[in-house]
Amino acid sequence: MYNGTKPKSFPNVQKKGKNRGTGGPAAREAHMDVSLFESYRERIVSNCGKVILGKDEAIEKVLVCFLCSGHILLEDLPGTGKTMLLRAFARSVGGDFRRIQFTPDLLPSDLTGINFYNTKSGEFEFRPGPVFSQIILADEINRATPRTQSSLLEAMEERQVTVDGVTYPMAEPFMVMATQNPLESYGTFPLPEAQIDRFFMRLSLGYMSREDELAVIARRPAAAIVSELPCVVTPEETARLKRERTQVRVSPDVAGYIMDIIAATRTGGRGGGVSTRGGIALYQASQTMAALHGRDYVIPEDVRDLAVCVLAHRSGGASVSRTDSEGYIRRLLGEVKVPLEEL
């Protein structure tokens, strides 16, 4: 049984020599250069770290989600830097960025856009809404009505928006980064499980260390620092890494470990458990995390490090608190057998 520390699995993994998966080392190196992933990660984390101190792990997970074409739900107390993190990340990766403040009177058409009658041309024209941006900050998403929340579903899952029977594709990369405050429930509308499942990860920043918080208190405003952040990667780099992340190998034992975790959520008495979409998300996130750390293969530690943020919000629905759902996944990780490499 897992004792709370990382298992010493795969201590003798070979990067060269013995073939550990499909295709030999020479063939893999011709297609994938993991140093590109490491360089990409270092630039993004370093740039965002100028604004959000001591939260490199959270920044890294946002990056994993971005490369997997997923969406982030950032849930935490007010004033912990949620919005600043997302703004800093958007500046670092470039692309069109739009912030949308969700309120009870926000309508679906305020997001997706409308067809309006052009008196000069005598025809109806489509005026796209703010959702037609590459990176969307949906601030306090749970303050909008369910009708407005659901207007994001098509864009988040299918990368398209349908207005009056006409479908419009979204620009790539496209990512929704939503925030919500778990404390203030008055005037909010809990996200339906169908929408919660669309989020690739749920993250929480928490408070900074004493030293980092002292540095933040004494420095100039974070908004001024964010406004000066440069874009540190190119669209070509992003597109390439999005393609190449799928080449990271997952051994049958590790893939079986992922499925064991997913199956455990379905037999633990917490609703229907994690969906197949959640299993795919954990598989893809593990591949990307391995590449960002310079490996072209996944180890169980990759899976364990990501399981809570990928699976917790998918187990139990909106009625279960973040603390309870995360504790539930951690308990399951302690019960599921971790595969070990035979020396």
**272 shares a domain with 140:** no
Q: CATH number for the domain including 228?
A: 3.40.50.300
Task: Report, as an integer, the average pLDDT of 258-271.
Answer: 84
The pLDDT value recorded for residue 43 is 95
The domain boundary, picked from 233, 263, 289, lies at: 233
pLDDT at position 234 over 80: yes
Q: CATH number for the domain including 24?
A: 1.10.8.80
The pLDDT value recorded for residue 343 is 36
**72 shares a domain with 219:** yes
pLDDT at position 158 over 80: yes
**140 shares a domain with 105:** yes
Instruction: Find the farthest-apart pair of alpha carbons in the chain and give their distance in angstroms, rounded.
Output: 76
- pTM (two decimals): 0.83
**197 shares a domain with 69:** yes
pLDDT at position 316 over 70: no
Q: How many Cβ atoms sit within 10 Å of the Cβ of residue 200?
A: 28
Mean pLDDT value across the chain = 84
**Is 56 exposed, middle or buried (CB count within 10 Å of its CB: 0-12, 13-18, 19+)?**
middle
**181 shares a domain with 317:** no
Domain residues for the domain of 63 are 56-233
The pLDDT value recorded for residue 176 is 92
Share of the chain above pLDDT 90, in %: 43
**132 shares a domain with 194:** yes
Q: Is 98 inside a domain boundary?
A: yes
Q: What is the pLDDT of residues 77-125, one digit of tens each?
A: 777 788 888 889 999 998 788 899 999 999 999 999 988 888 888 888 8
pLDDT at position 46 over 90: yes
**322 shares a domain with 202:** no
How many distinct structural domains can be found in the chain?
2
Task: Report, as an integer, the average pLDDT of 237-252.
Answer: 94
**271 shares a domain with 205:** no
Q: What is the pLDDT of residues 20-45, one digit of tens each?
A: 444 444 444 446 789 999 999 999 99
